[in-house]
Amino acid sequence: MVKAGIIGATGYAGGELARLLMGHGEVQVKWYGSVSHVDKKYCSMFQNFFEIIPDICVNGNIHELADMVDVIFAATPQGYCSSFISRAILSKCRIVDLSADFRIKDLKTYEKWYNLKHSNPDVIKDAVYGLSEINREKIKNTFLVANPGCYPTCTILSLYPLLKENLVDTDSIIIDAKSGASGAGRGAKTDNLFCEVNENIKAYGIADHRHTPEIEEQLSYAAGKNLLINFTPHLVPMNRGILTTSYAKLKRELSYDEARHVYEKYYRDESFIRLLNKDVFPQTKWVEGSNYVDINFKIDKRTNRIVIMGAMDNLVKGAAGQAVQNMNLMFGIKEETGLMQIPMFP
């Protein structure tokens, strides 16, 4: 039985981690960490856990907490995880960090886009970017996983096969993305109030969203050269879900069957990537509450472009589910364990 702790357990991603780990079967959560709700019953923060999780929230010494567990999930704001991670902590337990602190290898890029001074740059080189479908073998052997962001997960998985096979003009990539309100976190913000979000859709972070360098870095690895992309996210009035629509110019004429073969080459054996049938395009409702990513594409012969769509649940595959998937790999547990929930519909 793997013993786990959750830091930031009272946020949306932390609550989703608690839900998934309760049904895992091979994990026991030893403590639920929260700076803001110390000594309060965890179920008072999430009433869905009433009479299911009786534990009290803690905020103890990180070295003592690390001695109690085999893995710590850090579902915390940027800058927090890097402030306590050290080689001493990593010698006690493994870490799955859901923040951006260890995702970006270039320190200057991280500090520029997140406007933070990194607290522990020496550990960055030890972290593995936790996109399981691409870095599976590296994840198995690391003690520190940088869990990818929600937008990057959907975008990278959607575009990765095309870039690996050098099929698109990398200067032409444009990414249009939409997310539900839970992606902004549980904190009280005017922009996230019901009256602000309901019956509304808006773009934000235009040309400067902080997931941009993460997407660029990972797609650059796939393409074998440095990429610059246009990425524009939008907030839509729903609780969960991400839909990304990416556009790229084809380098040569490509049939549907040829492109389909490329995607099947990389994803046919992946448990959580579903390549939809021809002319069936992803919808967020089809993946809600699950760890699945639905992907499909359309070739526009008139403009010589390919349009690629991906849909997933931002709190599951985009955060907590992917974190559990990474933990499974780190501990030699079957990768799908605890993650085979069927999407909820409607």
**For helices 256-267 and 150-164, what crossing angle results, to 10°?**
120
110 closest CA partner among 213, 244, 263: 213
CA 248, CA 228: separation in Å to the nearest integer? 13
Residue 127, CA distances (Å) to 36, 78, 121 in order = 28, 15, 11
Q: Strand 2-7's sheet: what is its strand order?
A: 57-58, 27-33, 2-7, 71-74, 94-97, 144-146, 128-129
SS3 187: coil
CA 235, CA 240: separation in Å to the nearest integer? 11
Q: Could you tell me if residue 198 is left (phi over 0), alpha (psi between -120 and 50 degrees) or otherwise beta?
A: beta
Stretch (H or E) spanning 144: strand 144-146
Query: Is the bond leading into 346 cis (omega within 30 degrees of zero)?
Result: yes
Catalytic machinery residues: 150
